[in-house]
């Protein structure tokens, strides 16, 4: 009730009381109606006063309760201090720090009483006294304090208009640990707990950039786990993860104090070493780690033996490029893997030269695809029994504006590596079939097929589309595959070859004799033709074993109904030898080099009259 309302209310009550006294003193008689009205008015005034008081009583405690509840629900401990440092108000969290009742304190609790209540808690006493110093300074401030039990407090104090301060204490221990965990996961591999690739690179950067560290050289070792992909596929990812964890544990247990380990890739570990004579120290460590990795591993009742290929790079103190050192180690590892399992290679300058050449070739291939810089040349092969041209082999070139004519020996391996061989192979099939459709009908077209074409694209569809587009009969298309195509995925490849055969396409085994299982594959698949590798043809005039292999191949091929082609014929003597050895076809510069498509028709007419091919 406002003051004005109270004044009016009391005035009316007073008037009623005066009227009643006057009537009593003067002994006047009132009518029953007047008396009833006076009594009713008094009762009404009393009722209104009681209701107003009841509302005030209910509203004021409710506001206080809500305020106190809000303060007590705060996650922070809050205390309000006056200008002298005495505690005026605190919520439950703050009061629990000092074993105080929470709420408004009347009178205010002196600062020395807070100190007394802390007792022997020296750590908390120090925190409290530093808080008072900040209050006296009268500025907004933030601070972090760590208690003896490891709990971390975030402390904030803000000055008030009266000269005091509002102080909050917030226990952020869990948040701090969560942030630390996030930071750990950002720099470490989740599976093994080792540094991840990015953090490992940053570690190298910090070391090679710090010339005050006092180290002489830094060395990096990369270790690739041979055969890990197979284990992952055959035994499952859980088994693969368990294997990685066990190997990571072995590596950490073996490393000296001047080393740090990392997981660089799914199956590659890295080690950084400083403060030792290099590359002797890191090389010795690599051998020890390789032995530890090769020790038997028990995994779900299976004993595994792993090997690792190792690449090493080291840099003297004047080196400042971490990325360069990282790249050097990767190049060394690449060469080690290329040379065979369990190999260790130290970076050499020519590796970088080779890598630069590889990158330039990759760029050239992508430019050739984008700008259609490929050219298909054709080299005829001859029937050396009856004479005449038996067919032509399609040989791809890149006609690059700055690099000139690039041989397939240079760009095909790179195209396979970067995953472009499927697109390139399909293009060659289309061009070759279209060109062959304009030749005499007895001349076949032979196209080389990469092993990766079997695995990547729908090769059967590529062949079918090329034949359909060109109108070339399937029997005039001859696909040349190497033994490596069969080794890659024997059963799947053989199934695909049978499907191609069912279309009427001819299948030849190229480079016959240089693999371990050439004769075995002749039994497993009905090839139409085998091409004896030019390394044997080159030696037939001087080595009896070479001509013996040629005779063995032609004998088996004849019994299986296969045609035998000798590659790389360059002299009349070689031609005579392979013909005597049983070959029915020959190909090489002796007859004709590879020629452009626009020149081929004239070459075919000349070769049709070439008597050298006639026995």
The CATH number that applies at residue 513 is 3.20.20.450
The domain that contains 93 carries what CATH number? 3.30.450.20
Query: How far is Cα 386 from Cα 613, in angstroms, rounded to an integer?
Result: 8
537 and 399 belong to one structural domain: yes
Tens of pLDDT, residues 529-539: 999 988 888 88
Tens of pLDDT, residues 557-567: 888 899 999 99
Tens of pLDDT, residues 3-37: 545 555 555 565 555 555 555 555 555 555 555 55
297 and 396 belong to one structural domain: no
pLDDT at 56: 47
Half-sphere exposure of 305 (CA within 13 A, CB side): 6
Query: How far is Cα 181 from Cα 177, in angstroms, rounded to an integer?
Result: 6
The answer to whether residue 181 sits within a structural domain is no
The answer to whether residue 409 sits within a structural domain is yes
pLDDT at 348: 84
225 and 291 belong to one structural domain: yes
383 and 493 belong to one structural domain: yes
What residue numbers bound the domain in which 14 lies? 3-71
10 and 109 belong to one structural domain: no
* Domain boundary, last residue among 150, 175, 200: 175
81 and 62 belong to one structural domain: no
Question: Which residue has better confidence, 72 or 203?
Answer: 203
Cα–Cα distances (Å) from 258 to 206, 224, 250, 345, in that order, read 15, 22, 17, 22
58 and 162 belong to one structural domain: no
Tens of pLDDT, residues 493-541: 888 888 999 999 999 988 887 765 567 777 778 889 999 988 888 888 7
Tens of pLDDT, residues 208-231: 776 555 556 789 999 999 988 888
338 and 406 belong to one structural domain: no
The answer to whether residue 358 sits within a structural domain is no
Instruction: Indicate whether 551 pLDDT > 60.
Output: yes
* Domain boundary, last residue among 28, 54, 71: 71
The answer to whether residue 237 sits within a structural domain is yes
The answer to whether residue 431 sits within a structural domain is yes
380 and 333 belong to one structural domain: no
419 and 301 belong to one structural domain: no
* Domain boundary, last residue among 312, 347, 382: 347
The answer to whether residue 400 sits within a structural domain is yes
> Which residue bears the tokens 């029953």?
32
The answer to whether residue 352 sits within a structural domain is no
271 and 416 belong to one structural domain: no
Element (H, E) at 344: strand 344-346
Instruction: Indicate whether 58 pLDDT > 50.
Output: no
Return phi, psi of residue 14, to 5°.
-60, -40
Name the domain count of the chain. Answer: 4
Query: How far is Cα 560 from Cα 581, in angstroms, rounded to an integer?
Result: 17
The answer to whether residue 354 sits within a structural domain is no
The domain that contains 271 carries what CATH number? 3.30.70.270
Under 8 Å between Cβ of 479 and 447 = yes
39 and 83 belong to one structural domain: no
């Amino acid at each position: 009730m406002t003051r004005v309302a109270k004044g009016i209310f009391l005035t009316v009550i007073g008037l009623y009381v005066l009227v009643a006294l006057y009537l009593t003193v003067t002994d006047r008689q009132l009518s029953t109606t007047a008396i009833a009205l006076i009594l009713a008015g008094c009762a009404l005034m009393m009722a209104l006063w009681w209701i107003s008081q009841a509302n005030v009583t209910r509203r004021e405690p409710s506001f206080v309760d809500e305020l106190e509840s809000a303060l007590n629900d705060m996650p922070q401990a809050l205390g309000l201090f006056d200008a002298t440092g005495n505690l005026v108000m605190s919520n439950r969290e703050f009061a629990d720090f000092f074993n105080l009742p929470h709420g408004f304190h009347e009178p205010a609790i002196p600062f020395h009483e807070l100190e007394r209540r802390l007792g022997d808690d020296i750590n908390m006493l120090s925190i409290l006294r530093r808080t008072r110093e900040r209050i006296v300074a009268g500025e907004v401030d933030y601070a972090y304090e760590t208690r003896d039990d490891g709990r971390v407090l975030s402390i904030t104090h803000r000055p008030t208009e009266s000269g005091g301060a509002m102080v909050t204490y917030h226990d952020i221990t869990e948040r701090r640990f969560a942030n630390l965990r996030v930071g750990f996961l950002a720099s470490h591999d989740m599976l093994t707990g080792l540094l991840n690739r990015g953090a490992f690179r940053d570690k190298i950067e910090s070391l090679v950039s710090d010339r005050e560290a006092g180290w002489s050289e830094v060395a990096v070792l990369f270790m690739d786990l041979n055969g890990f992909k197979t284990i992952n596929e055959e035994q499952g990812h859980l088994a693969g993860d368990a294997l990685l964890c066990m190997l990571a544990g072995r590596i950490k247990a073996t490393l000296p104090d001047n080393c740090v380990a990392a997981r660089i890739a799914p199956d590659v570990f890295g080690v950084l070493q400083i403060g030792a004579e290099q590359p002797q120290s890191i090389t010795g460590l690599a051998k020890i780690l390789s032995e530890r990795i090769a020790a038997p591993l028990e995994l779900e009742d299976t004993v595994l033996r792993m090997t690792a290929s190792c690449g090493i790079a080291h840099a003297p103190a004047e080196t400042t490029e971490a990325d360069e050192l990282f790249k050097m180690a990767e190049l060394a590892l690449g060469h080690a893997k290329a040379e065979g399992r369990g190999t260790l290679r130290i970076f050499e300058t020519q590796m970088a030269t080779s890598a630069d050449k590889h990158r330039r070739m990759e760029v050239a291939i992508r430019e050739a695809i984008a700008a259609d810089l490929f050219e298909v040349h054709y080299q005829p092969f001859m029937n050396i029994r009856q004479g005449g041209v038996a067919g032509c082999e399609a040989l791809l070139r890149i006609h690059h504006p700055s690099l000139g004519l690039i041989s397939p020996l240079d760009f095909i391996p790179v195209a396979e590596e970067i995953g472009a061989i499927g697109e390139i192979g399909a293009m060659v099939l289309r061009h070759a079939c279209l060109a062959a459709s304009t030749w005499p009908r007895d001349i076949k077209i032979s196209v080389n097929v990469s092993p990766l074409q079997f695995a990547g694209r729908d090769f059967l569809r590529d062949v079918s589309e090329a034949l359909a587009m060109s109108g070339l009969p399937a029997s005039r298309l001859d696909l040349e595959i190497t033994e490596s195509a069969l080794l890659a995925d024997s059963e799947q490849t053989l199934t695909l070859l049978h499907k191609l055969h069912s279309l009427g396409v001819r299948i030849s085994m190229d480079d016959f004799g240089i693999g371990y299982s050439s004769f075995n594959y002749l039994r497993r698949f009905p090839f139409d033709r085998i091409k004896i590798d030019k390394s044997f043809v080159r030696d037939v005039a001087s080595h009896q074993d070479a001509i013996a292999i040629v005779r063995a191949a032609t004998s088996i091929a004849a019994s299986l109904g296969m045609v035998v082609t000798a590659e790389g014929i360059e002299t009349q003597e070689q031609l005579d030898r392979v013909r005597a050895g049983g070959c029915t076809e020959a190909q090489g510069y002796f007859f004709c080099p590879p020629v452009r498509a626009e020149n081929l028709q004239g070459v075919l007419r000349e070769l049709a009259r070439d008597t050298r091919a006639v026995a």
